[in-house]
Amino acid sequence: MAELDRHLLAPARLKLTTMLTAVSEVEFAVLRDGLGVSDSVLSKHVATLADAGYVRSRKGTHEGRRTTWVALSPTGRKVLRNHVAALREIIDGVD
């Protein structure tokens, strides 16, 4: 049976990691606008997920300014898949 991951129980983090499955790497501002959160809130989520090894972030540039690029790690992809399967089991009523 699939298991829920405590880092992904926060809806914003589930949303963030799910968004990352659509791309290989995304710029911080694009992620912030997509999630509809502030810079500081997104920074905290990214830091938490990076500490858990679910995302990778690196400093880079975009349109001539310094920014952060975020990507889902292989571990994050695996954990997300498990977490989504666990949520689907809950929806389907599997104990």
Partner 1 sequence: METSGSRPTPDEAAAALLDAGSARDQLSHRLTLPSWFHTSIGLAVVVQTATLAVGVADQSSAGIGLAVAGLVPFVLVAVVQLVRFRRLNGVWVGGLASRVVFGSDAAASTVHFLAMGAAIWAAFEERWWLVGLCAVAGGVGYAFCGVRWMRSYRGDPAAHSRGESVLLLVALIVPLFAGAVLLLVGAR
* Polymer length of the chain: 95
Cβ proximity of 72 and 25 under 8 Å: no
Mark 28-47 with x for binding to partner 1 (rule: CB under 8 A) and - for no binding. Answer: -xx---xx------------
Among residues 78, 73, 83, 81, which one has the least CA distance to residue 11? 83
3-class state of residue 9 by DSSP: coil
Judged by CB under 8 A, the residue of 37, 52, 68, 73 near partner 1 is: 52
Residue count at the site for partner 1 (CB under 8 A)?
A: 36
Nearer to partner 1, 5 or 55 (CB): 5
How far is 53 from 72, CA to CA, in rounded Å?
Answer: 9
Interface ranges with partner 1 (CB under 8 A): 3-7, 9, 11, 14-15, 17-19, 21-27, 29-30, 34-35, 52, 62-63, 69, 78-79, 82, 84, 87-88, 90-91, 93
